[in-house]
Amino acid sequence: MLKPIGEGNSRLARSDWLGGRKKPPLLRTRELGYGVLERLGFGNRAPEATGLPGAMLSEVLLVSAPGKVILHGEHAVVHGKVALAVALNLRTFLRLQPHSNGRVGLNLPNIGVRRAWDVASLQLLDTSFLGHGDSAALTAKHVEKLKEVVGFPKDCVDPEHLAVLAFLYLYLSICQSQRALPSLDITVWSELPTGAGLGSSAAYSVCLAAALLTACEEIPNPLKDGEAAGRWTEENLELINKWAFQGERVIHGNPSGVDNAVSTWGGALRYQQGKISSLKRPPVLKILLINTKVPRSTKVLVANVRSRLLKELIDMNQHHLNALGVGHASLDQLCQVTTAHGLHSKLTGAGGGGCGITLLRPDVERPEVEATKRALSGYGFDCWETSVGAPGVSVHTAASLDASVQQGLDSL
């Protein structure tokens, strides 16, 4: 039997709440646990905002975060110069579904990952080395210890293992404030290609951090009645970004922090020597994003530029990058195709293949855009018509998501 809630252990009927005759009790998930709240009929959250059962948030949490492109400075930034990074309106979407089956599941349909764990088994793991809510404490030794604790090979560096490891780190770290780890299923689906230098891992980490912090009531759900989407406050975004950066550390080791910052705040960011600042009122620019599908190593390309060191502006920038040795025949072909249609392109990211962007000026006619896309596809390139300057991490209603996103989240 559940003990009655309220002063003097007397029951407080919902009719009393709704009629305003008595003040509703303040229920906290941390105090009662998810299972108790579900049995009480509150879903996975207590009605803390107003005390009314109808004001509680939906059991399902839907979060999205954008990718990123580097407009200028992708290699100069390594040598202390300014880089300009902008949020790409291709997004990663996460659905968090709380339940009470004693399991936690992770589904990543883009990379074919589907894993599940018993909460009771995870609860028994010695995770004291992770600290207590300290999002700045992660080191390489912690990552290696986490691999050992969860039974991963010491030398695992493939994207699938690292994505799962980042999830487990954030889940175990953020949710340790709960009396018991929560049962939930998380599915993450992305419009972003992986391994293309578009910040897909950062968008993944930002979505995980935002969803888990919200589910554990470390930050409130900002979605208001009647709104299709909501954004967190600046203070809450700072916390999301700190935890997302730790997820990026699990995946990349020593990231700059630019990708997760762009994915958190959106818009455009200026980055120089470790300092990140937002640009006020960045323009929303339409672009073509082209993936040459040529694999490249960021580490090798950055090292090559360093060894060589003892703009129309977009065109000039691309020529400079070629001179630094980070161009590629596929990127040259991309630029030739778009130039033939009166457009201007450059690589984005490390270069050596990967992706390029083409600026779509407001005066470009629709037939010219379509012809350019067909020509690029003819060379085997993937092409997206999108924009930069997109909003950062957001929470959504299910009805506001496109059918393609819903289908992606439903694919297992």
pLDDT in tens, 139-180: 888 888 888 888 888 888 888 999 999 999 999 999 987 888
Q: Is the pLDDT of residue 50 over 50?
A: no
Could you give phi then psi for residue 289, rounded to 5 degrees?
-105, 125
Q: Which of 64, 183, 201, 394 is catalytic?
A: 201
For residue 95, the model assigns a pLDDT of: 97
> Helix, strand, or coil here: 74?
coil
Q: Where are the domains of the chain?
A: 61-277+390-410, 285-388
35-49, 138-152, 178-192, 279-293: which has the minimum mean pLDDT? 35-49
Helices (H), 189-328: 200-215, 234-252, 258-265, 298-307, 313-323
Exposed, middle or buried by CB within 10 Å (0-12, 13-18, 19+), for 191?
buried
pLDDT for res 347: 72
The yes-or-no answer on residue 259 being catalytic is yes
Q: Which CATH architecture has domain 61-277+390-410?
A: 2-Layer Sandwich (3.30)
Residue 29 CA to residue 46 CA, distance in Å, equals 6
CB 399 within 8 A of CB 405: no
Q: What is the mean pLDDT of residues 378-407?
A: 93
Which residue out of 259, 263, 345, 394 is catalytically annotated?
259
- Residue 152: predicted pLDDT: 87
Active site residue 128: no
Tokens 């291709």 identify what position?
Answer: 90
User: For the CA atoms of 373, 376, 377, 378, what is the dihedral angle to 10 degrees?
Assistant: 120
The lowest-confidence range among 284-288, 321-325, 377-381, 389-393 is 321-325
DSSP state letter for 391: B
- CA atoms of 296 and 282, how far apart (whole Å): 30
317-347, pLDDT tens digit by residue? 555 455 434 445 677 788 889 989 989 887 7
pLDDT for res 295: 53
Q: Is residue 237 a contact partner of residue 393, using CB atoms and an 8 Å limit? A: yes
Gap between the Cα atoms of 267 and 282, Å rounded: 6
Question: How many CA atoms does the CB half-sphere of 348 hold within 13 Å?
Answer: 28
Distances (CA, A) of 343 to 358, 363, 372, 381: 7, 11, 9, 17
Residue 46 has pLDDT above 90, yes or no: no
CATH fold of 285-388, please? Alpha-Beta Plaits (3.30.70)
Half-sphere exposure for 149 (CA within 13 Å, toward CB): 20
Report the C-alpha gap between 353 and 241 in whole angstroms.
29
Q: Per-residue pLDDT for 82 more than 70? A: yes
